[in-house]
Structure 1
Amino acid sequence: MNKHLLVVAAAVLVSCFTANGPARAQGVDIKTIVSVNGPPVIVNQGSSLNMVGVFQIGGTTSATVTQNGSNNATGILQFGGTNSALVGQAGVNSFAFVGQTGQSATSVLSQFGSMNTGAIAQFGAFNSSTVIQTSP
């Protein structure tokens, strides 16, 4: 009896692997990026669940995040003289937060999905932000 159970379990396991196949897109993509006086950060995610956290400190900070999946989440914190953030999200649920502190702060947030949440907090002498949220 145990031998038959083992054969059935092995067959189910093999069928699960062949059903998913190696060519399918990754289900979850989670990234955390910490940059001190580093180059601009560019993140492109296309999984079902996308999450990214960007923390930047330096004279000039720049982050660009593009997410295309069912669920997207982005958090960007920038502390520099000149800060720039661009977030583009397409999916069912999208969440984005951008926090910027410095001499000047510029951010653009674009979300296309059924449920969009976005927040921008800027503390600088010159601040500029654009938020675009649309649903299908």
Structure 2
Amino acid sequence: MNRHFLVVATVVLVSCFTANGPARAQGADIKTIVSVNGPPVVVNQNSSLNMVGIFQIGSNTSATVAQNGSNNATGVLQFGGTTSSSVGQAGTNNFTFVGQTGQSATSLLSQLGAMNTGVIAQFGKVNSSMVVQTSP
């Protein structure tokens, strides 16, 4: 599983960087967010290339991501009592990984695109997830 995941992640990242060609300028929005006992994280991205990495630790962690661009990639790692994440992506290539550990883990993933890849790993007493993937 780990080896397959790394291959898929590498292919998605390479396709993200080569989709618009090497000679043209690309609009990119790349964020890394680390939160320890902080407020809920909300990220909205509308560039051609959108990438966000979120790492949260706390009693209650919450992340909401909305990405609208040609290539979208999201990674969320949450550790806490109650963890929740919501990711919405609209673009040609969409990739999301969500990892949650806590008493209660809830995740929602919605992807609209030609190539959609979503991975949700939940380790808690109460786990709930929903994945919706469609192509245009």
The TM-score with structure 2 as length reference comes to 0.81
| Root-mean-square deviation (Å) | 0.7
Q: Which runs of 4+ in 1 moved over 3 A?
A: none
Q: Counterpart in 2 of 1:41?
A: 41
* Residue 76 (structure 1) aligned with residue 70 (structure 2): no
Return the offset for 1:117.
0.1
Unaligned segments of structure 2, at least 5 residues: 1-25
3-state secondary structure, aligned to 1:103: strand
Q: Which residue of 1 aligns with 2:93?
A: 93
User: Percent identity, aligned pairs only?
Assistant: 80
Code of the aligned partner of 2:88: G
Structure 1: tracts of 5 or more residues without a match:
1-25
CA distance in 2, matches of 1:99, 1:120: 6
Structure 1 CA distance for aligned equivalents of residues 65 and 98 of structure 2: 11
1:30 Cα offset (Å): 0.1
Cα distance in structure 2, aligned partners of 1:107 and 1:116: 17
For 1:38-84, what per-residue CA distance to the aligned partner results, in whole angstroms no more than 9, with x for missing partners?
A: 00000000000000000000000000000000000000000000000
- How many pairs were matched up? 111
For residues 95-115 of structure 1, what are the alpha-carbon distances to aligned partners after superposition, in whole Å with 9 as ceiling and x for unaligned? Answer: 000000000000000000000
TM-score, reference length from structure 1: 0.81
